[in-house]
Amino acid sequence: MKHIIGISLVAVILLATQGCDHSTNISGSARIGNVAVVDLDRVAKALGRDEVMQARMKEHAEQMQKQLQGLQKNLTTQIKSEQEKLGSDATDEDKVKVNSLVRDADQRLKQAVSVAQQSSAQVRVDLISKFREDVQPAARRAASKRGLTVIMVKQANLLYYDPVTDITDAVIDELQASSAAGPPAS
């Protein structure tokens, strides 16, 4: 019985450790895992996409600002109109009505600001998502050429990586080459 347990234990250990050393040889004798790292900020900057995204976000923010200013002007006009209707001989009840109108206008403006902020955040998310979609095929090709199967984005929560796993330059080269060849056929 002990012999069967011993053999089973050895078999389990062999099965558990099988495939644990799937390292790839990149640039000489460096041994690494199957994970590549790409710095999307560097890619965006190298391709000028960071400026394009910033311009689109700024354009959207300016559009939202104009809408907010228009709403504020409209609400102010409504309040002034109501105050002028009442004139100087407004009753306490009239003043309460105007104060309520001011509170409602303030609430509407705050709500519009919140919607504008959410809209701007969504535009940013959409631009970044589209950029990531555009980069993904080039990153996949660059990683594949090196035998790497997982791609991580370099960001603050990435504690450490071996620079040999960084495929950022290869991704930039891939994207620049594909943009020089023209847009893909639809």
In this prediction, residue 39 has a pLDDT band, given cuts at 50, 70 and 90, of very high
Residue 9 reports pLDDT greater than 50: no
pLDDT at residue 75 in the model? 93
CA distance 75 to 69: 10
Question: pLDDT of 82-97, one tens digit each?
Answer: 888 887 787 888 888 8
Domains of the chain: 2-180 (3.30.910.20)
pTM (whole model) above 0.75: no
Name the percent of the chain lying above pLDDT 70: 79
Report which of 118, 184, 129 is spatially closest to residue 153, judged by C-alpha positions: 129
Residues facing 24 on adjacent strands: 32
How far CA 122 is from CA of 17, 118, 156, 181, in Å, comes to: 45, 6, 22, 32
Selected residue with higher pLDDT from 32 and 117: 117
CA distance 182 to 184: 6
